[in-house]
Structure 1
Amino acid sequence: MKTFKLILPALALSLFVACSTTTRHSEKVAATADADNQADTTLVATMAIPAASTANSPIEMTFTVYNRTDSIKTFCKWHTPFEPLMSKYLDITSANGEEASYKGPMAKRIMPPPADSYVSIKPKDSLSIKVDLTKAYDIKPGSYVVSYNSQAISGLSITDSVKISVK
């Protein structure tokens, strides 16, 4: 009888735990399905830089975010040109593999980002901003590839890098 009194609560606890695990799993599956359905509704960003520039002069990059969906979308402006220079959000690599030195500030952040850290874009609209790369990176004469490295923070998708020649 004592064994039965010990087994019954253990069995009930096992059943309860098993049910809650299944519920969590189905929530994760639903969240994954929602993320998959939103894959075609993400914001897309592009970078444009003149193909050639001269040393000791500004190198202006145009950063544009497109919302090709039918609803308002938001992205975190942290680690993008849409906030004052606060972080290294670009990788600028020379033809021989050396990275241009980042000389700007590096901010520490609280998580999650506060509401004022997000920018909204209307449906079928875009937002552009220009930034001088020489204010944050030590770019010497040579050929470079510029790529965006902060997709995970901003939520923006950029698939292409940009090439530039500095003389």
Structure 2
Amino acid sequence: MNRYKIILPALLVIAVAACSPTTQNTKEVASTKPTTNQVDTALVTKLSIPSSVSVGAPVEMTFTVYNPTDMIKTFCKWHTPFEPLMSKYLDITSTEGVEASYKGPMAKRMMPPPADSYLSIKPKDSLMVKVDLTKAYDIKAGNYTIKYNSGSISGLTVTDSVKVSIK
């Protein structure tokens, strides 16, 4: 019986301690969170494409990121043409409202992106890449609007869209 008098209070103390809320140093937690994949409105991203392309020919779109600031800026290359094709980062829609089928790979990734997933742009400089949309999208004859849809991953904002006619 004497054993229970010692064990029961000890178990009660352990149970209460386990159920009590813990505190964290919020300054330390906040400083370790990556902030570079947040949308950086200082970077200007533009899409460009020829207005007309022949059926069966490559549909080459240019994706350019400008840094008009006086500081080095970074963005995540995931879900952009700056990495090998691994995701559906464009919405390609015909004038009839039909979306071109995406036929490329879809990568599943752990967040946050590691440091080597980011590209830096020097002040007043730009990065440009061309991508053949026929490598990942089933594009048939017709008129299409192309919009970038992955700013929440890359941190890039593209406010405009481009149009192309496939004849």
TM-score normalised to the size of structure 2?
Answer: 0.76
Shift of 1:60: 0.5
Contact residue 64 and residue 129 of structure 1 kept, 8 A: yes
How far residue 42 of structure 1 moved from its aligned partner, in angstroms, is 2.0
Whole-Å separation in 2 of the counterparts to 1:77 and 1:129: 12
- After TM superposition, give the deviation of residue 72 of structure 1 in Å: 0.2
Whole-angstrom distance in 1 between the partners of 2:86 and 2:56: 22
How far apart, CA to CA, are the structure 1 residues paired with 2:41 and 2:92?
Answer: 29
**Deviation above 3 Å: which 4+ runs of structure 1?**
none
More helix by share: 1
Number of matched residues?
135
Structure 2: gaps (5+ residues):
1-22, 31-38
Question: What does residue 47 of structure 1 align with?
Answer: 47
1:92 and 2:92 correspond: yes
Task: Give RMSD over aligned pairs.
Answer: 2.1
For 1:163 and 1:49, how far apart are their aligned partners in 2? 7
Find the counterpart in structure 2 of residue 83 from structure 1.
83
Q: Does residue 117 of structure 1 match 2:125? A: no
User: Residues 99 and 114 from structure 1, CA distance in 2 versus in 1: closer, same or farther, beyond 3 angstroms?
Assistant: same
Match of 1:106 in 2: 106
Please state how far the C-alpha of 1:43 moved relative to its aligned partner.
1.0
**SS of equivalent residue, structure 2 residue 153:** helix
Contact 1:42–1:157 (8 Å) recurs in 2: no
**Percent identity for Structure 1 against Structure 2:** 72
Larger radius of gyration: 2
CA drift of 1:44 comes to 1.3
CA spacing shift, 1:95–1:84, aligned 2, 3 Å:
same
CA distance in 2, matches of 1:163, 1:50: 8
Task: Measure how far apart 1:134 and its partner are.
Answer: 0.3
The answer (yes or no) to whether the contact 1:45–1:158 under 8 Å persists in 2 is: yes
Distance 1:155 1:166, change over 3 A: same
Specify every segment of 5 or more residues in structure 1 that has no aligned partner in the other structure, as ranges: 1-19, 29-38
For 1:68, the equivalent position in structure 2 comes to: 68
Deviation at 1:79, TM superposition (A): 0.2
List aligned pairs for 1:154-165, cutoff 5 A.
Answer: 154-165=154-165
Query: Which residue identity is paired with 1:60?
Result: E
1:7-26, aligned counterparts within 5 Å? none
Contact 2:41 2:156 in 1 (8 A): no
